[in-house]
Amino acid sequence: MTLFGDAPERAAFDGGFASRPNLLDIKNAGTAEVCFSKPAGVPVEEMTTTPRIRRTLNNFRAGIEAGISFLKRSFGWTRASWCGLPHFRAYVWCSAVAHNLLVLARALLGRDKPA
């Protein structure tokens, strides 16, 4: 919240972050809808107002995880061999740009049809 100034309206988190104190802290910061991938000890009714919103947040998080997995498998994000923080940032930036170009090229060639 300090970085952007306002709390997001909705947020999705990993199951390892799921706890009642974390839920209360997030809600007190101003986030209305919160979804943990594995609700460990937190009732689903306390996180989101409707099952539709919970499903939407879970699907969003799953999509992000799929993108990260693809970057790890195809663009070497499992291990960065460039030493130093400036080089690491350049490595991540270059592989993210290469990923985006690949996705764009596939879309333009018609190999990936939008859902």
- Is pLDDT of 53 > 80? yes
- Report the amino acid identity of residue 3: L
- The overall pTM is greater than 0.85: no
| pLDDT digits 0-9 by tens, 34-52 | 998 887 778 888 888 888 9
**Interacting residues of 40 by C-beta distance below 8 A, sequence separation 6+:** 15, 18, 19
Q: What is the mean pLDDT of residues 25-33?
A: 90
Assess whether 59 and 91 both reside in one domain. Answer: no
pLDDT of residue 15: 83
Over the chain, what is the mean pLDDT? 85
The two structure tokens encoding residue 63: 């999509």
Residue indicated by tokens 């960065």:
80
Task: Please tell me whether residues 48 and 90 are part of one structural domain.
Answer: no
When pLDDT is averaged across residues 41-68 and rounded to a whole number, the result is: 87
99: how many CB neighbours lie within 10 A of its CB? 16
Q: Is the pLDDT of residue 113 over 80?
A: no
Q: Measured at the alpha carbon of residue 90, what is the angle toward residues 87 and 96, in degrees to the nearest 5?
A: 145
pLDDT of residue 45: 82
Going by pLDDT thresholds of 50, 70 and 90, the confidence category of residue 59 is very high
Range of the domain at 100: 80-115
How many domains, in total, are found in the chain? 2
- 66 and 113 both lie in a single domain: no
What CA–CA distance (Å, rounded) separates 110 from 115? 13
Same structural domain, 48 and 66: yes
